[in-house]
Amino acid sequence: MDGDLIGIETFKCEASVLTKIHHPNFVVLLGYCIEGEEKLLVYQFMHQGPLSKHLYHWFISQKS
């Protein structure tokens, strides 16, 4: 049980720090929610799509 509480406190601490980081190359973390076993991070909308879309496209073009 103590491990669960430590994990939740660690998550809260890290999420709190990430909400304060603002950099042009990072998506802004707007907030978080913990409900029971579920944890949710809320990020700013990405106008150009997710990073995975761009990385995957780059990977495909490199293989051609």
Q: Where are the domains of the chain?
A: 2-63
**Distance between CA 22 and CA 62 in Å, rounded?**
31
The residue-averaged pLDDT of 37-64 equals 75
Residue 51 has pLDDT above 80, yes or no: no
Decide: pTM greater than 0.75. no
- DSSP 3-state percent helix, strand, coil across the chain (nearest 5): 45, 20, 35
Mean pLDDT of 15-41: 87
Burial class (CB in 10 A: 0-12, 13-18, 19+), 62: exposed
- Out of 2.40.128, 2.60.120, 3.90.640, 3.30.200, which CATH number does the structure's domain 2-63 have? 3.30.200
pLDDT digit string (tens) for 1-20? 566 778 889 999 998 888 88
What pLDDT is recorded for position 50?
77
pLDDT confidence bin for 53, thresholds 50/70/90: confident
What's phi and psi for 46, nearest 5 deg? -100, 105
